[in-house]
Every structure is written in structure tokens, then in C-alpha cells.
Amino acid sequence: MKSLSDLRVFCTHIIMKYGSPHGVSEEEKAEEFRNIYLKGLPLNLKTIRAVAACCGMKLDGLDEMPQNVRGYHEVYGEERNIYFKNWDTVSGIQNTILHEIREIMETTFVEIDPTYEPLRTTAVHAAANRFATAVLLPESSFNARVYETGLDIIELAGIYSKSCSQVLLRLGEVLQGKLFLYAALYEPCAVDKMDWRVTYWTGSLNNEDQEANVHGANGLFPRKGRKVMTGSLVDMAIKEGKPYLVERITLADDMEDDGLVAIARPQIIAGQPAKVGLIALLARNRNLLEAQIERIQPSVLKGFHRHL
């Protein structure tokens, strides 16, 4: 590249290398972005801010932000401004900057190639989330850490200084196609701290072996907004403030299926559970949790039937 002073240069590089932005995944866009702007540099806020400036972005932290908005951008001719919450977490600001850069990339693709059909608003937002996460949590190194920690959401969030939700969603992305996984994050509602619900969830399947997946278990895996079920693994983790492991969750009434293994780990802040991360795998893959089990020493339950 001749110059890195404008995001158009990067977008032109993508089009020249891949032909069309539609032909390159967000993972690949993120890898190109890291290789060009971040190679050999630490992935911290100072670096991200410098990269944004290099791409021609003006950053501005605001003390007030519209409700339910973490950040946004404005384009005035050649001027491109990205706004973020001053009071946001460091990881939140990093994510916002990269998210907005990806959204600006979408309109830049059209400027370079008028025949390019841009993504719709919701699709752009989803793509920007994937791009930002892929930049901040590179697949190869993150994948290695996933196995080193025993798929521990809380531990990974601490290692990378990222939110548990971002780590959880990235977990599902990097494991997609490799094994069966269900993972969820539970948090108390802002108004009623006794009302815990699923705030984020993810999953993956084993594309190589369809038998290494769970089928016909509708309703077993809670989706966003689902309340904690009394007597569940997460319910016990919240009430006792400690991790729990269930060795085998049977799914069929004849009790002959391989079943699942699941672990729930609370994040303790000021002596109280603030979040609970739940991981469920096929029982045959219990060894993947060993590093986490050895580190946090959960209370062990023998089995459940058709519930987590």
C-alpha cells in the first residue's frame, strides 16, 4: 500500500484482492486489517485510537449518549467522526471504534465500486460486530486460549480484558463446525436484581460428524430473555456463589443416550455473583473442560434429566 492515511486505501485493497467485499468474510477482513494496521502492535486502546487516526477518523468521547446507543459516526464530505461514551469500559470503547470503522467501510466500498450493493442496516450492524470482535480476538490465538482455559468464559474475559458477552459470542464463532457447544451468559435485571435471565447465548455444531451433535432437544437450551429455572445448574451457582458441574445430563427417557456435561461458573464481584457463564458439551467431550475444572474446583453433581 502506498498510504494508510485514508480508509479508502484499505477498502481498495480488499476489492483488488478479493474482487468484491461480498466475497470476503468478516474474519478475513479483520485479518487483513490486523496485518496492515496492527501487525506487531499491542491490541490496546492507545493502538486502536492511533489506527483510527491513521484511517482518517476523528474520535470524540461524549458525556451524554442517546439511550441504548454505545457509539455512532457522522460523515461530512471528507471528514469522518466517530463518537463513543466517555464512561464506557476500555474494551467497550475499542469495540465501538472498530465497529464504526466497519460501518464506514460499507459506504466506502460503494464510493469505490458503485456496482457494489451494500448490506442492509441490520446486516451492517451484525457484520460490524463480527469484524470488531475478530480484530480484537484473533482466531488462531483465541482458539488456542479457549482450549488452554477449558472453555472458561470468565477466565478468557480476564485474560483479554474483554467483556464476558464478547468472549462468549467469539467462542461460538471460533468453535463453529468443530464440536457441539451451547454457551450462555446469565445476568440480573437492572431493576430487579433477583430476576436473572439469559442476556447472551451462542452455539456451534460438529460439521464433520453429525452424530456428535444434539438433535430433538427443543427447549432444552435457553435463549435470550429466558429466566433462570429453579433447581438448575445456574440457579445453584447464583444462590451459592460458587461453580457447579453436572457430569451427565440425559436426554432420552430410556437413559441410554450419551448425554451432556455442563459447568456453570459465577463471576464474583464484591463478594456477590455478577454474572454466570454456562457451558454445555457432549459428555464424550468432558476432557475439554478439564483445565477449567482443575482450576476452579466446582461442586460436582452426578446427573440431571432433560434440563440444565
> What does the pLDDT look like over 159-179, one tens digit per residue?
999 999 999 999 999 999 999
Q: Which three cell numbers stand for residue 301?
A: 453433581
Torsion angle of the four alpha carbons 19, 40, 149, 162, in this order, in degrees rounded to the nearest 10? -80
| Global pTM value | 0.89
How high is the pLDDT of residue 101?
A: 97
Q: Does 1 score more than 50 pLDDT?
A: no
Same fold? 7-136, 139-305? no
For 149-188, b/e burial (b = at least 16 CB within 10 A) is bbbbbbbbbeebebbbbbbbbbbbbbbeeebbbbbbbbbb
> Helices 121-136 and 26-33 meet at what angle, rounded to 10?
50
Q: Per CATH, is 139-305 categorized as 3.30.450.130?
A: yes
98-154: per-residue pLDDT in tens? 999 999 999 999 999 989 999 999 999 999 999 999 999 999 899 999 999 999 999
CA dist., res. 206 & res. 229, Å (int) = 28
Parse the chain into domains and list their residue ranges. Answer: 7-136, 139-305
Query: Which CATH number is correct for 7-136, 3.40.50.300, 3.90.1150.10, 1.25.10.10, 1.10.10.2910?
Result: 1.10.10.2910
How far, in Å, are 52, 68, 131, 308 from residue 265 at the CA level?
36, 28, 28, 13
Residue 282 scores a pLDDT above 80 = yes
CA dihedral for 76, 129, 224, 293, sign (positive or negative): negative
Q: What is the mean pLDDT of residues 61-67?
A: 89
